[in-house]
Amino acid sequence: MSSIDQFNIGITCYPSVGGSGILASALGEELANRGHEVHFISYERPFRLPANSPRIHFHSVEIGDFSLFPYPDYTLPLSVKMAEVSRDCALDVLHVHYAVPHATAAVLARSMLPENQRPRLVTTLHGTDTTLLAGHPGYGPAIRHALDCSDAVTAVSHFLKSETERQLEVRTPIEVIHNFFTPRPLRRSRAEVRRELEVREDEVLILHTSNLRPLKRIDLLLESVALLNPRDSFKLLILAGESFAAHEPLVKQLGLSDRVLVRDRIIEIEEYFQAADLGLITSETESFCLSILEGMSLGCPSVATRVGGIPEVVDDGETGLLVEFGNACEIACAVQTLIVDSERRKRMGNAAQRVAGSRFSAESIVPRYESLYRRVMG
């Protein structure tokens, strides 16, 4: 085991585009910068994790393809790799993001090891475990068991904590630790990025970034933008974590082909946020919404639906505008208000950047995770 000030920490997350993987990668970077050894265990390297960073190690999980199983199994190979890395690298803590399959695999991995080699288990909930799977009879009991077997459980918002307690009645106390975001150094100026996008300086650039899953409600996003006037006053840039092809017909139907720009799997999102004037989120539910915080960090205010944990991120009227979910007219009206009032937009952006730098900074959040590790280590 490590000293009381430096730990060997295993992190498992989904490596694809999404808030949980981005947060886990950033946390690993920050922990490594603070002197901890960090071991990522997943089926591929997280897409925003820099290569060749000191004290950051990646352990690949090989997924077998056996005709015996109708679907490829990930949980068992992951648990075996977790046990192997825990033993060989003397992990102090396994910090997993999502209860299923990651915490369930960690519970199994610990049972494979002698008691003196078992790392402590910290599980962070990001939303889907609770909002999508908790009520499913094939998942709910496994999620509850994994959380009850964890040494500590965290949630990224008070909303998610209360929902988890309501739906799962877990025994392990849930601690709220909000997400954080640290912008990387910018390589290009705002003007250079806007030239690349062919956005005029007098056009308002509205930015949406997400994995495009159904709960993000891209249909509502496009329908709201289609109500904005005049059409030549804005462009909508979508940074997509998945293929946008399924939404192209609606773009054409709404007459937005010359207004909507799409880029996918962008790593340097900071450059696009600094080039944007306004973020737009039309989600049906969100546990936190990291993309709003990413924009705030670069001085980009948001119009967002008042759902889930978003009100914990956006101070309505100060760092952005919150609207009721589902009403495209109301969403468009809020966006239009900020399109025509550049001074208000700038004030909100400055306030958003201040809040991001104080309330949601790495300096504020990462020490809370370090304190949690010390606590579970006893």
Instruction: For 130-188, write each residue's pLDDT tens digit.
Output: 877 777 888 899 999 999 999 999 999 999 999 999 999 899 999 999 999 999 999 99
pLDDT tens-place string over residues 277-317: 999 999 999 999 999 999 999 999 999 999 999 999 999 99
Q: What is the distance between the alpha carbons of residues 110 and 121, in angstroms, rounded to a whole number?
A: 9
**The pLDDT of residue 131:** 76
- Shortest CA distance to 105 belongs to which of 41, 26, 156? 41
Omega before residue 72 within 30° of 0, cis: no
pLDDT tier, 2 (very low <50, low <70, confident <90, very high otherwise): low
Confidence of residue 236 (pLDDT cuts 50, 70, 90): very high
Please give the Cα distance from 52 to 126 (Å, whole number).
28
Largest CA distance in the chain: 67
Q: What is the mean pLDDT of residues 248-262?
A: 97
190-358 CATH fold: Rossmann fold (3.40.50)
C-alpha distances out from residue 238 to 14, 235, 242, 291, Å: 22, 10, 11, 12
Start-end of CATH 3.40.50.2000 domains in the chain: 8-180+361-377, 190-358
As beta bridge partners, residue 12 has 96
Percent of the chain with pLDDT strictly greater than 90: 83
The confidence score (pLDDT) of residue 70 equals: 67
Tell which CATH classification among 3.20.20.100, 3.40.50.2000, 3.50.50.60, 3.40.50.850 matches the domain 8-180+361-377: 3.40.50.2000
- Average pLDDT for 352-368: 97
With residues binned 3-state (H G I as helix, E B as strand, rest as coil), the percentages for the chain, rounded to 5, are: 45, 15, 40
Write out pLDDT tens, residues 88-111.
999 999 999 999 999 999 999 999
**pTM of the complete model beyond 0.75:** yes
